[in-house]
Amino acid sequence: MAGGMVIVFDFDRTMIEGDSDNWVVTEMGLTEIFHQLRFTLPWNRLMDRMMTELHSQGRSIQDIEACLKRIMPIDSHIVEAIKSAKSLGCDLKIVSDANQFFIEKILEQHDLLDCFSDIYTNPTSVDEHGKLRILPYHGAASTPPHTCNLCPPNLCKGLVMDHIRASSSPDDQILTRFIYLGDGGGDFCPTLKLRECDCVMPRMNYPLWKRISDNPSLIKADVKEWSNAEELRRILMQLVSTMTKEDS
């Protein structure tokens, strides 16, 4: 058993090869208006605005769901890694700046939703007109704004990591080990929250990898880089095996 081990996945360009927001924008014909508004709104509000545009065109929630089902499948190596880590007793979570609806529909398509105990992302709802709304994780009714200068205003992944760690008992906070997988600049803040007994897995040649490479003295966790799905699976399962033996 890999008890006391939490594996935190980013979603876009980590769990899936592409970006779920960009996929919907491109596949549903929103590219022109998206680029017109790109620098007038924060990304989270821009995606909410794109959902308003789809609704005004008569596109339904079911149309968006069908679009998400056409996204490039999650690589079989990553599916295998997720299911293997879950079967070994690891606690799997997602921390992503995508959104609840997109992530859940893609995971359901691959029969992976039940593998994750928590998904921390921008919440979604359907309003009385049947329009999908995408809300900020921070600044929504249940979560106050943050002041982190490393993260976008709608989501500080470092604060989410603090919450995950604080939600366990004091003894578990000491004993629990984290593996964090990500690619983007927004994954640097949670990386700084990791301890010497933890591990971060940045995707090579992506922003998180570069930030770590440029600031090695700030990183306490072990760093294991990866470049493709096969490497992710192999390195992650090696880490789970090694950490399990060390903790036994």
Residues catalogued as catalytic: 10, 12
Closest-CA residue to 98 (of 213, 16, 191): 16
Q: Give the C-alpha separation, 110 to 127, whole Å.
A: 27
Binding residues for substrate: 21, 97
Binding residues for Mg(2+): 10, 12, 183
Binding residues: 10, 12, 21, 97, 183
DSSP 144: -
User: 170 near 164, Cβ under 8 Å?
Assistant: no
> Which runs of consecutive H residues, i.e. helices, occur in 57-186?
61-69, 76-87, 100-109, 157-166, 170-175
What is the Cα gyration radius of the chain? 18
Closest-CA residue to 38 (of 46, 50, 30): 46
Q: Give the C-alpha separation, 94 to 96, whole Å.
A: 6
User: 212 near 181, Cβ under 8 Å?
Assistant: no
